[in-house]
Amino acid sequence: MAELTLLDRIYMVEEGKLPSPEDAEADSNVGIFRLPVKKTGTGSATVRISTTGSSNRTAERYKDRGIKSREGDFYASTQELKWGPDEEGIKYIEVEIYKDEISDEQGEYFYATLSSKNADINLYRSHVFIFDDLAKYLEKYVEIPFSLKGVPQPIKVTPISEGMMDFHLMDVNGQEYPKELMPAQRFEEERINKVIYAQVGDLTWFNFDFHIERITPVDAQAVRFYEQENQTQLSQYSTLYLVAPFKNESDLPVPINISNSQVWNFQRMGREEQDEEVNSSLTGLFLPNSNKILLEYARDVWKSNLNILESIDRNGNAWKPSFHIIATGFVPRSMAPRNVSGITKTFAEVVGEIESNLSGVYYMSESDYPWKITTGTSPLADHDILEILGIEGDLNRVERDYKDFLRSQLNGSYKENYEKLISIIDNNFVDVKAERLWQAGNSVEITLLICAKFSENEYIALLTTSIET
């Protein structure tokens, strides 16, 4: 049977840098983006390709989407491609991209979707991001030199990763609350949580859509009592930061482009503002060498002047803070092992160093577990993880910063071992990813997985178990 597929999940195009239609006038503001569809296998195949963005009526709701209109950002009617029984290869649909007079746009996207009644479909959807001037966009949102010279148009972005955002509460001075002050139920509903991110040169490009309803704030009275008991200086005013599934690998903070923000029960300190005023100018900052994103940061100090509230209306109903944030941007990434110690080591030597360091070392939770270490020529696939763990079935997963797994161990018996492990990973590996994994119906036994890349064909994975009742 025939199989149809789009070739890439994401494309980036720049207005004014696409070829003009053959019948266009010299000063035309129209460029043509050609989206490839590939057929393999035998049998006839027909595919319909539709495009989706926003309209003039829905543009305010979907601020990060391009307007589908000849007076907007792009236009394409639903198109059909056909292949004969013995025909294979690539055919294209054409999308008109319009150059406008807005000189500082954030970038918007549309997506194309395949459907077919007589062929299997592999990759059925591609996202196409439109930029006014990508170099200027990078100049504004990324604080490192970056040149697009020689990069062909449209820009292909591969490979694509998908993940999830998270958030944590902290006080407005940037201090983490101790575990005993954190609410048992952090929020009541997660409506949307999707991140797509990819490598573009020496950068990580990302786009996320994150919607959380009814967050439970930290109890102010409990904070004051904790301060008195422990002689600390925690603020009773709490805020939140976002946690991405990847890091800003540079030593500089990077602003993110919040294209749509809807927050409820957020307030700037000392100001009686409505949510609409906060939404109109909400800012975000990706912290250096971190996967944390602060909202409403104070310059030069990693703290926030935006606190979250729990208000009571005149009918006695409690209104809890909620947010829906859509954002996009670029952050620098390291493309090669850093070896900041200046000592060149082989992969085998570094693995041996980790094995020696973790020999007899346990991850301490409600029960203590040792670490398992495995290496390979590619990142671990799900079936590899299931085989190592000796289990069957699907895995639930949430991405984390690997240091979040290890910080809780720095006050325990193996403090020096965990400090050394962090140093080894930071000095010798890139593309470090960490995940919490668990099977449906068993949220007590959590597998902690850390994967890292040493070179193109040399990867390491560390696994242990955390018991959380």
Structure tokens at 296: 């409403």
Neighbouring residues of 466: CB distance < 8 A, sequence distance ≥ 6: 363, 365, 369, 436, 446, 448
Q: Outline which parts of the chain fall under CATH 3.40.1460.10.
A: 347-467
Q: 102 versus 143: which is more confidently predicted?
A: 102
CATH number of the structural domain 347-467 = 3.40.1460.10
* Secondary structure of residue 13 in the 3-state scheme: strand
Residues 56, 95, 155, 162: what is their CA dihedral angle, to the nearest 10 degrees? Answer: 60
Q: What is the chain's Cα-based Rg?
A: 25
Structure tokens at 228: 């008195």
Q: Would you state the pLDDT for residue 343?
A: 47
Q: Would you state the pLDDT for residue 273?
A: 57
Q: Would you state the pLDDT for residue 85?
A: 92
For 67, which DSSP code?
B
Among 152, 169, 161, 393, smallest CA distance to 266 is for 169
* Secondary structure of residue 229 in the 3-state scheme: helix
3-state helix, strand, coil in the chain (%, to 5): 15, 45, 40
Q: Would you state the pLDDT for residue 13?
A: 86
Q: Across the chain, what does the average pLDDT equal?
A: 81
Assign 47 a pLDDT band (cuts: 50, 70, 90).
very high
User: Structurally, what CATH architecture does the domain formed by 3-140+150-155 represent?
Assistant: Sandwich (2.60)
Asked if residues 112 and 128 have their Cβ atoms less than 8 Å apart, the reply is yes
For 338, which DSSP code?
-
Q: Would you state the pLDDT for residue 232?
A: 74
Q: Would you state the pLDDT for residue 335?
A: 40
Q: What is the mean pLDDT of residues 361-386?
A: 86
Q: Would you state the pLDDT for residue 117?
A: 92
pLDDT for 147-196, tens place per residue? 554 445 566 555 667 788 999 888 887 778 888 888 888 888 888 888 88
* Separation CA 260–CA 254 (nearest Å): 18
Sheet hosting strand 187-200, strand order edge to edge: 160-163, 187-200, 203-215, 322-332, 254-264, 284-286, 290-295, 238-248, 166-171
Asked if residues 271 and 233 have their Cβ atoms less than 8 Å apart, the reply is no
Q: From residue 447, give the alpha-carbon distance in Å to each of 179, 351, 399.
A: 20, 21, 12
Q: Would you state the pLDDT for residue 370?
A: 94
pLDDT above 60 for 116: yes
* Separation CA 31–CA 21 (nearest Å): 7
Which of 95-99, 342-346, 457-461 bottoms out in mean pLDDT, i.e. has the lowest?
342-346
Q: Outline which parts of the chain fall under CATH 2.60.40.2030.
A: 3-140+150-155
* Secondary structure of residue 8 in the 3-state scheme: coil
Asked if residues 263 and 275 have their Cβ atoms less than 8 Å apart, the reply is yes
Say which amino acid occupies 166.
D
Q: From residue 170, give the alpha-carbon distance in Å to each of 174, 235, 272.
A: 6, 9, 22
Among 410, 248, 267, smallest CA distance to 332 is for 248
121: number of Cβ within 10 Å: 18
369: number of Cβ within 10 Å: 17
Asked if residues 398 and 306 have their Cβ atoms less than 8 Å apart, the reply is no
* Separation CA 95–CA 35 (nearest Å): 8
Q: Would you state the pLDDT for residue 219?
A: 87
Q: Would you state the pLDDT for residue 339?
A: 45
Asked if residues 428 and 334 have their Cβ atoms less than 8 Å apart, the reply is no
What percentage of the chain reaches a pLDDT higher than 90? Answer: 21
Q: Would you state the pLDDT for residue 155?
A: 60
pLDDT for 263-313, tens place per residue? 888 877 656 556 677 777 788 888 888 888 988 765 555 667 777 877 666
Cis check for the bond before 36: say yes or no (omega within 30 of 0).
no
238: number of Cβ within 10 Å: 23
Asked if residues 82 and 45 have their Cβ atoms less than 8 Å apart, the reply is yes
Which of 114-123, 126-135, 152-161, 307-316 bottoms out in mean pLDDT, i.e. has the lowest?
152-161
Note the pTM of the prediction, 2 decimals: 0.57
Q: Would you state the pLDDT for residue 408?
A: 82
243: region left, alpha or beta (phi > 0 left; psi from -120 to 50 alpha): beta
What percentage of the chain reaches a pLDDT higher than 70? Answer: 86
pLDDT for 386-418, tens place per residue? 787 777 777 788 877 788 788 888 888 899 999
Asked if residues 40 and 1 have their Cβ atoms less than 8 Å apart, the reply is no
Q: 83 versus 21: which is more confidently predicted?
A: 83
* Separation CA 165–CA 245 (nearest Å): 7
